[in-house]
A = this chain, B = another copy of it.
C-alpha cells in the first residue's frame, strides 16, 4: 500500500528556503511573486494489509522521524489500490 505524507511548516514559522527562492525569482525579474513556501511530500510503499495499522505506524513515523512536530504539521493519505505498487 502507498502512503503519501504531506509535511508542511506551520504558517507562523519562517521558511528560509522559501524566502531564498522568493529572492531568486525576483532577481530573475518576476516581481509579481508575493510569497513562496516549500513543503515536502514523502511517499512510502508499505507492505501492509491493514490500513488502520498502517496509518498508526505512519503517524508514529511522522512524530519520530518524518516531520518535526514542533514546527511542522503533517497529513497522511493512504492508497489501498494494490496495483499501484
A residues contacting B by CB (< 8 A) are 6, 18, 21, 24-25, 28, 30, 32-48, 57, 61, 64-66
Contact = CB atoms under 8 A, between A and B. Distances in A.
B30 A35 contact: no
Contacts of A42: 18, 21, 36-39
A65 B25 CA distance: 7
Assembly stoichiometry (copies): 2
A39 to B, nearest CB: 4
A26 to B, nearest CB: 11
21 contacts: A18-B42, A21-B42, A21-B65, A24-B65, A25-B44, A25-B65, A25-B66, A28-B65, A30-B46, A30-B57, A30-B61, A33-B44, A33-B45, A34-B46, A35-B45, A36-B43, A36-B44, A37-B43, A39-B40, A40-B40, A41-B41
